[in-house]
Structure 1
Amino acid sequence: MPKNNKKAAALRYEQSYEAPIVTAAGIGLIADKIIEKADENNVPIVYNKELADLLQNVDIGESIPSEIYEIVAEIIAYVMSVDNNLNKER
């Protein structure tokens, strides 16, 4: 049976934060649980293998490294635009 090498990470960002923080990260079954919880709570899921790989190296509760600010900012902007469009439809 193939090994589950799926990786996932969860980020939290609020305007008062200097940078997004990692709230969860894991591989395999833990990654499955992170994705499941996000889905259950209607948290947007963005698939980006390279970013997931990088976030595995950040301790839970720590800010993301400055090297990935730009890509994470693009993802946050995308999620906010999707969220705004959904709110307009309601």
Structure 2
Amino acid sequence: MTDEHSPRPVPRAVALAYGANDAAPKVVAKGRGLIAEQIIDIALEAGVFVHESRDLVSLLMDIDLDQQIPPTLYRTIAELLAWLYHIESAQKSGLPLPAPPDPLASLTDTRN
């Protein structure tokens, strides 16, 4: 049973792009509600993998469009990109998919 009066969480989404000549990934789209749903739908239709992390999205929502991610997020995003590369490799070779990284673990890792 669901409570009709309990608010449903509003979806949020952030899209990053990283080109060969870019110093760091950039925020290329972000939004809440319907806009977030459209960002996710477009990504899925284009075959782009969608990773869910409320904490990471919260951090990325504070970055202006067409701005690079801050250096504090470099390691976190690099780990996600490496994971995505491993997913693509596993899919091509028929191997099991790797477990996702904890996107905020590198932010709290004191061994940096």
**What TM-score do the two structures reach when normalised by structure 1?**
0.88
**Residue 68 of structure 2 is aligned to residue 63 of structure 1:** yes
Q: Which has the higher contact order (CA 8 A, sep 6+)?
A: 1
Alignment partner, residue 42 of structure 1: 47
Shift of 1:86: 2.2
Large movers: runs of 4+ above 3 Å = none
Alignment partner, residue 22 of structure 1: 27
> What percent identity do the matched residue pairs reach?
33
Aligned residues: 89
Q: Deviations over 1:1-58 (max 9, x none)?
A: 6355211100111332110011101111111111111111110011111110111111
**Residue 88 of structure 2 is aligned to residue 83 of structure 1:** yes
* Partner residue of 1:7 out of 12, 16, 24: 12
Alignment partner, residue 53 of structure 1: 58
> Cα RMSD over matched residues?
1.5
Instruction: State the distance in 1 between where 2:74 and 2:31 align.
Output: 20
Structure label with greater radius of gyration: 2
Unpaired runs of 5+ residues, structure 1, are: none
Structure richer in helix, relative to its length = 1
Shift of 1:59: 1.2
Shift of 1:60: 1.1
**What TM-score do the two structures reach when normalised by structure 2?**
0.72
Alignment partner, residue 33 of structure 1: 38
Unpaired runs of 5+ residues, structure 2, are: 95-112
